[in-house]
Amino acid sequence: MISKVFRGHLKMRSLLSCLVILTSFVLAFPASRESQLQTKERVFPPRDWEIHSIAPSNHRIELKIGLPQPNFEILEKHLYEVSDPSHSRYGQHLSKEEVEALVAPHPESLELVTDWLASHGFGEQDMTRSPAQDWITVTVPVRLAEEMLDTTYYVWKHTASGESIVRTTSYSLPIHLHEHVDVIQPTTTFARLKSFKSTIHKLDKETGQIVEQSNTPIISASGVSVDPSCNTTVTVTCLKQLYNATDITPSANINNSFGITGYLDQFANFQDLQSFYAVQVPAAVNSSFAVLSVAGGQNNQSLSEAGDEADLDIEFGFGITFPINGTFFTTAGSPPFIPDLETPTDTNEPYTKWLDFILAQDEIPLVITTSYGDDEQTVPESFAKRACAGFAQLGARGVSLTFSSGDGGVGDGDSDPTTQTCFTNDGTNRTEFLPLFPASCPYVTAVGGTIHVPEVAVGFSGGGFSNFFARPAYQDAAVAAFLETFPNGTYAGLFNPNGRAFPDVAAQADNFQVVIGGETGLIGGTSAASPTFAGFVALLNDARLKAGLPSLGFLNPLFYSTAISGFNDITSGNAPGCGTEGFNATVGWDPVTGLGTPDVGKLVALVTSV
């Protein structure tokens, strides 16, 4: 149901739009519309990237132009109201059409940007517009992109991985367009999309069998018995025991749904899933999941092409949630652009490709987990904020989003965390902790990692404080309490205490028993923690839907308030990085394990009473 405030806003917006359009017919635009070019965005040459060569002039890129969303603050207000269990509108999620109306650009922005593209030879048939018209995409050769943006594209090579991408470090626009364009990419984004699977901390195909340490059950923080084998080998049964979910039987017939994103040619193998089910979830044998292709994404079923990340995600995500409807999104794009080959397009913007696709859908899974990201500083702030705004739109529509918090502690995980040195990308080369994106977005739930029973923080659990996003009000009390007990002067200048803090929650993150390419082994990473936690959120939705309540949607305002007692506080362990011991797990929220791990039994009671 649309609130009176929302209806009034739409009427006012409609009147304003009509006035602007009418004015455009009455008044001729000045001839100075083609104004002088001025730098729109500039970044310093990125850390660990070096110029390989001039970009081929005929190399084609998809330029995505983000137009301002003048009413985003109103959308954000709606998001927080429908996500706050103390608000009268809790659970009254917005429709696709309502969200699109709130993020639509001003008609003047649409007209001016369309005219600018037309001046470079683009007709309407050459432009792809998002449903809300806040993004315009055109495919152009590098030579034309350079002309339009008054810049030079280069092939950049990452010194450690050898990956190459086509990017520039600055671009310009006519002055009159600056207030009508938020961001244009791919230009200055140097993120290396990585799966947070601990750079395969463990994929031990020799020791994939369960090994019991003793016959004595372990009592978890939730007060339930856990098989002692769970200390060395994590299974679906272990997780349900550990998080007090063994008595929960979800339904397949209440319109519940669960989604997993896949990138970088990570293919989810059906045969591996059946082998996994045969051992760990026998009731699920012969069940399957839907595959949705995004921008031409494939899902190759050769066992030799089975993805370790994709298989981990589907096996535990769908294993925990069976028989809830499951969907795997396979998004095209593999980051290594090979500069010496005739690569037709540079497909290294997978988050926006997936966001374009999912926001255009009428039906979206109620919970979606993602196990990918990169250092926040590799993503220009303008781009990070627009991608984050896309996640807010999903939250407003009743979708819960979880993201892995990263596998580098307070650093980037590219080397020994106790010796690595972390530098800023702003030209000063200061030593600084490196927050992760999208985990640092305030509209998603970031999931850190634990290990063993009783649980302690796993040493690679990513966490920290954003340099782009301010601390949201929902976590003020919890984070302030942590900072008050944090020794004065510790790590001074290495992190932003006023930034959005993450992770929000945690789950087991190592020694997961998987089947990959037909072989059984162990694997870990916060990429295991995110689908695990998201799977239990789907069980919470099951309880709410059965009670006639709407889906949980954006989780954080609930978790940091009414549901805070439904978490097992993790108070031991730390996650080093950047040549330091990093932050410690401690009483209350901390930037290693967040609020802690879920007690699903308690959470079911809590979420069905609000």
Regarding pTM above 0.85, the answer is yes
% of the chain surpassing 70 pLDDT: 87
The backbone region for 489, taken as left when phi is positive above 0, alpha when psi lies in -120 to 50, beta otherwise, is: left
Q: Is the pLDDT of residue 141 over 60?
A: yes
The pLDDT of residue 16: 40
Torsion of CA 72, 540, 464, 77, to 10 degrees: 20
Average pLDDT over every residue of 166-177: 96
Average pLDDT on 42-56 reads 90
pLDDT on residue 442: 98
End-to-end CA separation in angstroms for the chain? 18
Average pLDDT of the residues of the chain: 89
Q: Look at 182-191, 271-280, 339-348, 359-368 and tell me which has the smallest mean pLDDT.
A: 339-348
SS3 432: coil
Residues marked active site are found at: 309, 313, 527
Mean pLDDT of 106-114: 98
- Name the CA radius of gyration of the chain, rounded: 24
| Per-residue confidence (pLDDT) for residue 345, from 0 to 100 | 52
Confidence bin at 221 (pLDDT 50/70/90): confident
Give the mean model confidence (pLDDT) for residues 526-536. 97
Tokens of 475: 């976590």
Residues 6 or more apart whose Cβ sits within 8 Å of residue 228: 212, 213, 214, 215, 216, 217, 218
Residue with tokens 């069980």: 539
> What pLDDT shows up at residue 249?
95
247 labeled binding residue: no
Do 250 and 242 form a contact (C-beta atoms < 8 A)?
A: no
Checking if the pLDDT of 394 tops 70, the result is yes
Question: In a 3-state reduction of DSSP, which class is residue 313?
Answer: helix
The CATH superfamily holding the domain 218-335+347-421+433-474+502-607 is Peptidase S8/S53 domain (3.40.50.200)
d(CA 507, CA 573) in angstroms, rounded, equals 14
Instruction: Please tell me whether 570 is known to bind a ligand.
Output: yes
Taking each helix axis from N to C end, the angle separating 350-359 and 381-396, rounded to the nearest 10 degrees, works out to 30
Domain spans in the chain, listed from the N-terminal domain onward: 36-86+103-190, 218-335+347-421+433-474+502-607
* pLDDT tens-digit map of 244-256: 999 999 999 999 9
136 is in an annotated binding site: no
Q: How confident is the model at residue 194 (pLDDT cuts 50, 70, 90)?
A: confident
What single-letter DSSP state applies at residue 515?
Answer: E
Are the CB atoms for 114 and 435 separated by under 8 Å? no
Band of pLDDT at residue 476, cut at 50, 70 and 90? very high
Residue 569 annotated as part of some ligand binding site: yes
Higher pLDDT, 398 or 343: 398
Query: Which of the pair, 13 or 287, is modelled with greater confidence?
Result: 287
Residue 334's pLDDT is: 57
Report the DSSP beta bridge partners of residue 156: 51, 165
Dihedral over Cα of 486, 492, 494, 499: its sign:
positive
Q: Residue 160 has what pLDDT?
A: 82
| CA distances (Å), origin 234, targets 168, 210, 303 | 44, 9, 23
Residue for token pair 């965390």: 417
